[in-house]
Amino acid sequence: MIPVQGVEDQTIAVLGLGRSGRATVAALAEGGARVIAWDDGQDTREAAIAQGIEIADLTRDAAWDGVRALIVSPGIPHLYPRPHPVIAQAYARGVPVDNDVGLFFRSYASADWEGFDRAPRVVAVTGSNGKSTTTALIHHILSEAGRPVQMGGNIGTGVLSLDPAIDGEVVVLELSSYQTDLARALTPDVAVFTNLSPDHLDRHGGYGGYFAAKRRLFAEGGPDRAVIGVDEPEGQYIANQLGMGPSDDRVIRISSGQKLERYGWSVFARKGFLSEWRKGRQAGSIDLRGIGGLPGAHNHQNACAAYAACRALGLAPRQIEAAFHSFRGLPHRSQLVAEIGGVRYVNDSKATNVDAAAKALQAFDRIRWIAGGLGKEGGIAGLVPHLGRVSKAYLFGHSARDFAMELNGLPHEVVETLAQATERAHAEAEPGETVLLAPAAASFDQYPNFEKRGEDFMRVVEGLA
């Protein structure tokens, strides 16, 4: 646990008592604060009371007496589409609003660091797609290289549930837009921006607000080194804003598809080969084509981001390459589940938006595509240019019929459930084909999250095997 600093003998309120909220209560209490908390769910409040957490109804004026700050869980809207009533109360009273990420960055460094030979470092990864894989890959590389390392944030352990730092340790954090948008402190040593595509737009008041939430990690975080994906204009903008010119190697530009040889430091992948360039000369190269845990151009971009971050931390190219080969990927992200009768079954349940699904569709040949769920704004019309390798689509869930109308003549079948879609694809698949779950939609019509959806797909495939 990371005890929160600067809160001794203060009354701090916490809104939301899920995993991160409960961890925040514990870390604040460890730092000497008196903590009061509120959650809209009665069952959640009762469970918190059983754990000894003091509940105060923050919708009532009396609960705010003496409150010095409000700490908000990431799933609770603080601005768009409208602030939660408790947060609106804090704004009206002038009570500072923060989240657990802000508390982490102001509390991670401690007096113990004065005795360390090598100061701990924090790597923070954000973006629309690939940030979980990039975060896990950085963690894997550092671990394989023998560096002390922890992983947390939006993946793995909550930020305040991490262990206090030890000498030379690296903490690798995945940060969502929900987390970067509200944190009052953002001070990573290395910050990574993978890419940007439309997602969570209602929560950020549109695409510009979504980008602004991501950009805060760089504009307000002031990292020593910034690894920036420049395949979209937004990444090009961030790199331009941070750099003092093309030779400024504090910015490491990365790309999947572009040559980036004119900059002070860049890492890019083309035709399956990763190249590192520094000051006009090639400094490293890795053949990514045979690395099973990183299939497709989108994973090659993730590899470039992780490579660049680890080089910024002082690792050698050969150390990074060796770790690439032992990386097995993350569940629900281009995960090979089984091969049955010459047909591969791939679980990419994490492809919850059009951009992620497009990348999955480009990673495999001869695809029988399973898609559906709770569609997002804009539907799947943007996937039409990427359907050339798809022989047939199997659509399920709430938006299946809407999706069917956008397929531009592609053969398709509409069913009710993921299990039915998987069974139909299995019945028609031929050797050499890939049955790919890349839903291009949220899971919330039939599943509580994308993980449960992916697990259901795997269960059905295992039954077929």
**Domain 11-98 coded CATH 3.40.50.720:** yes
- The β-bridge partners of 121 are 170
Q: How far is 462 from 465, CA to CA, in rounded Å?
A: 5
Q: From the centroid of its chain, how far is CA 418?
A: 24
Residue 452, number of CB atoms within 10 A of its CB: 14
| Own/partner long-range contacts of 83-92 (Cβ < 8 Å, ≥24 apart) | 84/15, 85/59, 86/15, 86/38, 86/58, 86/59, 87/15, 89/58, 89/59, 89/64
Domain boundaries, the chain: 11-98, 103-326, 335-464
173-182 tens-digit pLDDT: 999 999 999 9
Q: Enter the CATH code of domain 103-326.
A: 3.40.1190.10
128 labelled binding-site residue: yes
Q: Could you tell me the CA-to-CA distances from 92 to 64, 75, 83, 87, 208 in Å, in that order?
A: 12, 21, 12, 9, 26
Question: Residue type for 349, please?
Answer: S
Q: How many CA atoms lie within 13 A of 218 on its CB side?
A: 29
Q: How far is 228 from 77, CA to CA, in rounded Å?
A: 28
pTM equals 0.85
68-82 tens-digit pLDDT: 999 999 989 999 999
Write down the pLDDT at residue 342.
Answer: 97
Read off the DSSP letter of residue 102.
H
Element (H, E) at 36: strand 34-38
Residue 203, number of CB atoms within 10 A of its CB: 18
Q: How far is 301 from 227, CA to CA, in rounded Å?
A: 12
Q: Which residues of 383-407 are buried (b: 16+ CB within 10 A; e: fewer)?
A: beebbebbbbbbbbbbbbeebbebb
The helix-helix angle for 317-326 and 131-144 (nearest 10°) equals 110
Q: How far is 445 from 229, CA to CA, in rounded Å?
A: 33
The helix-helix angle for 233-242 and 207-219 (nearest 10°) equals 30
What is the chain's mean pLDDT, rounded? 96
376 labelled binding-site residue: no
Question: Residue type for 298, please?
Answer: H
285 labelled binding-site residue: no
The helix-helix angle for 296-312 and 131-144 (nearest 10°) equals 50
Write down the pLDDT at residue 95.
Answer: 98
DSSP string of 191-239? EEE------SHHHHTSHHHHHHHHHHHHHTT--SEEEEE-SSHHHHHHH
89-102 tens-digit pLDDT: 999 999 999 999 99
Write down the pLDDT at residue 189.
Answer: 98
Burial bucket for residue 81 (CB in 10 Å: 0-12, 13-18, 19+) = exposed
Placement of tokens 């019509």 in the chain: 445
133 labelled binding-site residue: yes
Backbone angles phi, psi at 111, to 5 degrees: -60, -25
Q: How far is 137 from 102, CA to CA, in rounded Å?
A: 24
Element (H, E) at 283: strand 281-287
107 labelled binding-site residue: no
Q: How far is 294 from 304, CA to CA, in rounded Å?
A: 11
For the cut 90, the answer to whether the pLDDT of residue 145 exceeds it is yes
Whether 11-98 shares its CATH topology with 335-464 is answered: no
For the cut 80, the answer to whether the pLDDT of residue 199 exceeds it is no
CATH topology of domain 335-464: Protein-Tyrosine Phosphatase; Chain A (3.90.190)
Write down the pLDDT at residue 164.
Answer: 97
Write down the pLDDT at residue 465.
Answer: 86
435-461 tens-digit pLDDT: 999 999 999 999 999 999 999 999 999
Write down the pLDDT at residue 198.
Answer: 82
130 labelled binding-site residue: yes
Residue 293 pLDDT level (bands cut at 50, 70, 90): confident
Q: Which one, of 18, 25, 2, lies nearest residue 162 by Cα? A: 2
Q: From the centroid of its chain, how far is CA 188?
A: 16
